[in-house]
Chain A
Amino acid sequence: MGEQRQLEVSTHVKPALELTSVPPWTVSPTLPDADVTGATWTVIAIGPDAGPVVDTWTAQVTAAHPSAPVTVHRVDDVSSAVAALDADLTAASVGWRLMVAGPAHACLKVRAHAVRHEVADDEMTFASTEVDHRTVLCVHCGERNEAPVGIEDVLPCAGCARNLLVHYHVSRRQGAYLGYQVDAEQLVESA
């Protein structure tokens, strides 16, 4: 996909994470405890590293609610995770909780899907097993770029070839970071 390079971006100070729209668990691998306040659970493990997380969570829920219905899905990719989520949502009652473990970029996509189905923040829990890959949405052409980039790295857009800066800005509904052309002001376009 080409090189990613760090460009000097004018006079710039990194913002404090909690003042941005970037969930902290997408920057550092995070393993929260299970949310045991619910009545029914959908637990999704995306990828092999998520397995142990899900085991821990299931044990925590069962310890608090021995006979509670906990539906566990172990999947390889996001589309399988979303399909599992959809299936469980159709039959869900209030009291349902969603817990997802996997790479941060996968969790963000599942969260986007849940948000679009009006799942509330206090009904979802995410554990990130890896935070190296990001989905970067090109604000110019709409392309979703998947790449091992950090925030404020630069990558070429697969859709329009512009050099995109990965911005400290995550859309809930898109499940992606905002990417915008980093060198627009350094190019003087000829008519």
Chain B
Amino acid sequence: MSTIDLVVTAIDDSVPGVRSLTLAHPDGTTLPSFTPGSHIVVQCGDVANAYSLTSDSVQPTQYDISVLELPDGKGGSRWIHNLTVGDPVSVLPPRSAFAPILRARKHLLVAAGIGVTPMISHLRAAKQWGRDTELLYVHRPGRGAHLDDIAALTDTARIFTNRADFLGVLPDTLAAQPFGAHLYICGPTTFIDDVVAAATAHGWPQSRIHFERFGVGALDPGEPFTVKLANSGTTIAVDSGVSLLEALEAAGHNIPNLCRQGVCGECRLTVSSGEIEHRDMYLTDADKAAGDAIMACVSRAASPELELKL
């Protein structure tokens, strides 16, 4: 996981309770392109949070995100709301988990509150590629995010400032979509659940319903642990965010490896004691249950210490 070190180049606090940030390379170099609907994981002090990218996706020179102010959250939002222009921010490269379906003949976007952020990059791509798109956006009065962007990108958006109005049109909207349409939902969990339930009740098949729940996109960097090497008796520390493979390599050990993603089987090591947190796609269920093999590139210890036959 290679982090990208950026700086804050602009801050927009015009919408109450929402902070929009622009991040860029200190020297302005091009950032990795991304698929519409993608998010970046931002290191917010001790916490890592995922935020949808709202800016241009093709060879961009900046990444824009909008963050809801959560005074009682885990601290990520507070950290962001304390930033000033010029502050350094480290992010992981964009990850795509909510992409427009290529086969969709129409894209029905339904968002609530800060859940509108992934829809903005969808709207940008829709304009570039001439996609038939309709946005339904419900927000609390005075707290609509990206309303200017929406107005600039689409003529068919319907904006609601109270839930009753939104719920009034939702059933008819869901019942009357042309065959081939796909539905994309983003917002608080209960909002998503309600819209999914309504769509299902109107006969929408699961293959046409897509949603993104915030907070589950980030890769968990895992707890730190120590690893004892049985043959030499030495102990190595494996930090959070560092893989067992990386830690062993850093300590000078040459472990066979290839994909470094948990699929190919090359980096299998024998475990003589300790609990394993398997994160790979190579070992069988039986292998995993036996508890004596670990795929070093992705898996971790579930106990404070692991002993390897190495």
Interface residues on A, range: 10 to 19
A to B contact number (C-beta, < 8 Å): 48
Question: B residues within 8 A CB of A39?
Answer: 175, 202-203
Interface contact A93-B205, CB-CB below 8 Å = no
Interface assignment of B59: CB less than 8 Å from any CB of chain A = no
Interface contact B180-A118, CB-CB below 8 Å = yes
Interface assignment of A89: CB less than 8 Å from any CB of chain B = yes
Question: B residues within 8 A CB of A122?
Answer: 205-207
Which of A49-57, A75-83, A94-102 lies at the interface with chain B?
Answer: A94-102
Please provide the chain B residues from 93 to 111 with a CB less than 8 Å away from any CB of chain A in the complex: 103, 105
How far is A86 from B266 in the complex, measured between Cα atoms in Å?
A: 51
Question: A residues within 8 A CB of B178?
Answer: 92-94
| Min CB–CB distance B86 → chain A (angstroms) | 48
Number of interface residues of B (CB under 8 A): 19
Please provide the chain A residues from 117 to 164 with a CB less than 8 Å away from any CB of chain B in the complex: 118, 120-123
Interface assignment of B129: CB less than 8 Å from any CB of chain A = no
Interface contact B205-A123, CB-CB below 8 Å = yes
Residues 159-186 of chain B, each 1 if its beta carbon lies under 8 Å from chain A, else 0: 0000000000000001111111101000
Interface assignment of A40: CB less than 8 Å from any CB of chain B = yes
Interface contact B207-A97, CB-CB below 8 Å = no
Given contacts A93-B176, A94-B177, A96-B179, contact A38 B103 (CB under 8 A): no
Question: B residues within 8 A CB of A121?
Answer: 207
Interface assignment of B253: CB less than 8 Å from any CB of chain A = no
Question: B residues within 8 A CB of A93?
Answer: 175-179
Interface assignment of B30: CB less than 8 Å from any CB of chain A = no
How far is A96 from B175 in the complex, measured between Cα atoms in Å?
A: 10
| Partner of A37 from B174, B179, B205 at Cβ < 8 Å | B205
Interface assignment of B208: CB less than 8 Å from any CB of chain A = yes
Residues 35-46 of chain A, each 1 if its beta carbon lies under 8 Å from chain B, else 0: 001111000000
How far is A161 from B222 in the complex, measured between Cα atoms in Å?
A: 63
| Min CB–CB distance B115 → chain A (angstroms) | 21
- What are 6 A-B contacts with C-beta separation under 8 Å? A37-B205, A92-B178, A93-B175, A94-B174, A94-B179, A95-B203
- Smallest CB-CB A-B distances: 8 pairs: A39-B203, A95-B203, A92-B179, A38-B203, A120-B207, A94-B177, A122-B205, A122-B207
